[in-house]
Amino acid sequence: MSDTDGELAVDELVAYCQTQARLLRGRVETLDEEAATLLSEIDDELSDARSRLDEQSGVTPSPHGMGADEELADLDALEADLTEKQAVVEAKQTRRDAFEELAVGYLELADELQTDAPAPSPALQLVVQFEHDRNAPTHFDERVTLLEAATESDDSDT
């Protein structure tokens, strides 16, 4: 805080936006790694299934057909597992895209604040409005955004 009345300076708001973007990019990297791990698991399971199917194609079925039923159940379980993992990967990718979009938005806002250099109060309003419009607090589990701080401040003033 640079002003005596406790108002944030524009350069502090720029630093805040850049920090938020870096935190979001860290989450993007984590989600990318998690998705890559799941995709690798899916590839491995598909490879195993293909190998098992190739082995089965040369085997004559037993007269009682018991092995085929067990194999079918195994394949059904594998399909359910793969479908679930694919859904998780898609959810991670959707979440990753939302984090990336918000990170880019924070960086653009930081550039706008640096370029236009508004007075501190309007700059703070821009950041709070940005976070409100993009529902930014939902992207930060362990960090209070300026929007949340402003909302808490408004609530305590009443």
Residue 47 to residue 18: CA distance in whole angstroms: 43
Q: Give the C-alpha distances (Å, rounded to integers) separating 87 from 5, 35, 74.
A: 50, 11, 20
Give 55's pLDDT tier (boundaries 50, 70, 90).
confident
Q: Kindly tell me if the per-residue pLDDT of 95 is higher than 70.
A: yes
> Confidence class of residue 68 from pLDDT cuts 50, 70 and 90?
low
In the chain, domain spans: 10-157
Tens digits of per-residue pLDDT, 100-146? 999 999 999 999 999 987 788 899 999 999 999 999 999 998 889 99
Mean pLDDT in the chain?
Answer: 86
Which is more confidently placed, 15 or 5? 15
Instruction: Please calculate the CA angle 107-109-111 and round it to the nearest 5 degrees.
Output: 70
pLDDT over 50 (residue 4): no
CA angle 23, 36, 140 (to 5 degrees): 25
Distance CA 14, CA 109 (A): 8
pLDDT at residue 36 greater than cutoff 80: yes
